[in-house]
Amino acid sequence: MHTFLVVCIFFCIFALAFGNKVAKNDASVIGATCTSALSASSRSSRKVLTANLSAAMLGIIINPKSGKRAFRMQRLYLWKLLKARHQPFIYRVTKYANHAIELARELVEEKGCTQILVLGGDGTLSEVINGIMRAELTPEQRAKIQFGLMPRGTGNDFARHWGLNKDFKRSLDIFFQGHSKPIDVGRVTYWRNNIPHHRYFINSLGFGIEPMCCRYAEQLKYYIGSHHVNYFFALLWSLTKYKNPHLRLEVDGKTVVEGKMFVTSIANGSYVGGGMKLNPDADPCDGVLHAMFLTPPSFKEICQAVPRLFDGRLHELPFIHPVVADNLLMHTKKHQSFEADGIVMDVSGPCQVDCMKGALQMIVPKEFV
């Protein structure tokens, strides 16, 4: 009981932050699908930027459930801006979980869009990335696709890495300025019924207690909504059921970490859970993945770790095991789950995690180019 209470204290802090990650399935929405092209110019409520996108068709994917209170105002502002720029575009609105995967694939495969603007949170962005990566394109064609982000979710961790926030006018300014940079995409290969499958992630991949919390929080949101309290109760529920599995982590065929696993976080971006820095040195452009492995913590270790969750000093602690590599192989003795950008997947057998260097182009603030 004492150990249970200690872990509860530790994860109260996690609950306040990772609760934002429950927006993982922020692509489960209700909306409509439309196609639009712009015609003559009109007056805009804001000064039109001088930098221009390509004359090619722009694809826009919108999750209206993310930040839905401001959705109408943001959409109208974007339409006026596009009309003033004479920019032809096609937009799609997500209707259900994983719909953005289908929409992104349609836009790049069938409509020939080489620029995609995402209006949504981490979950919507993750689905769009999966759609682009699964599209039937050559590596050369895929590497030319540019995507931009107007953050509208709860956590917005990948956006935070680039200094993007819910100032949607600034985000659109950055997108239309068109400064792009090659970024890496993570890929996890897992097995179901002895058949390999791929899931791509843009920000983070989590094993251990984290996917269980995400799953329970998803169930609880239908009763108490998507709030931090939701995640806190999901955490307590998880602690009553979670059993620390045995994990062996390999890099280039050599075992680097082995033991009971409480949390393993593999990062492409530097933030998770609404601002925590579990892997503070992670950079989507460095060609490697940054991981941390945590065994079941003691009370003393919890007290040492909590103040360091948000300031990037977690890796200074001796019981935190950091790993940097472009590929990792994870072995577990039993059935295991993981969350990719907050979306939970059930797997069996080993999981191969790879960094796909410079797989896509992201439109970022000028200071990052």
Residue in 144, 121, 142, 124 with CA at minimum distance from that of residue 133: 142
**Both 175 and 193 in a single domain?**
no
**Both 207 and 61 in a single domain?**
no
**Both 270 and 126 in a single domain?**
no
Name the CA radius of gyration of the chain, rounded.
21
CA angle 315/228/230 to nearest 5° reads 120
Q: What is the pLDDT of residue 155?
A: 75
Q: Each residue of 217-262: pLDDT tens digit?
A: 778 877 776 555 666 677 778 778 888 888 999 998 899 999 998 8
Q: Which residues pair with 117 in a beta bridge?
A: 60, 148
Q: Each residue of 180-200: pLDDT tens digit?
A: 999 999 999 998 888 889 999
At 276, list the tokens. 């925590």
Above pLDDT 90, what percent of the chain?
Answer: 50
Q: Each residue of 314-351: pLDDT tens digit?
A: 888 988 999 999 999 999 877 788 999 988 888 877 89
Domain that holds residue 68: 25-184+361-368
Please say if the pLDDT value at position 65 is more than 90.
no
Q: CA-CA distance, 323 to 108, in Å (whole number)?
A: 35
Name the band, by pLDDT with cuts 50, 70 and 90, for residue 299.
Answer: confident
**Both 205 and 341 in a single domain?**
yes
CA distances from 31 to 27, 63, 71 (A): 11, 8, 12
**Both 141 and 64 in a single domain?**
yes
Summary mean pLDDT of the chain: 82
CATH code at position 293: 2.60.200.40
Q: CA-CA distance, 163 to 359, in Å (whole number)?
A: 21
Please answer whether residues 183 and 339 qualify as being in contact, where contact means their C-beta atoms are separated by less than 8 angstroms.
no
Number of domains in the chain: 2
φ, ψ at 184 (rounded to 5°): -85, 155
Q: What is the pLDDT of residue 60?
A: 98
**Both 262 and 224 in a single domain?**
yes
Q: CA-CA distance, 179 to 176, in Å (whole number)?
A: 8
The residues, any chain, with a CB within 8 Å of residue 44's CB and separated by 6 or more, are: 80, 81, 83, 84
Q: CA-CA distance, 153 to 159, in Å (whole number)?
A: 10
Q: Each residue of 78-133: pLDDT tens digit?
A: 999 999 999 999 999 999 999 999 999 999 999 999 999 999 989 999 999 999 99
Mean pLDDT of 25-32: 37
**Both 10 and 51 in a single domain?**
no
**Both 157 and 16 in a single domain?**
no
Please say if the pLDDT value at position 14 is more than 60.
no
**Both 230 and 346 in a single domain?**
yes
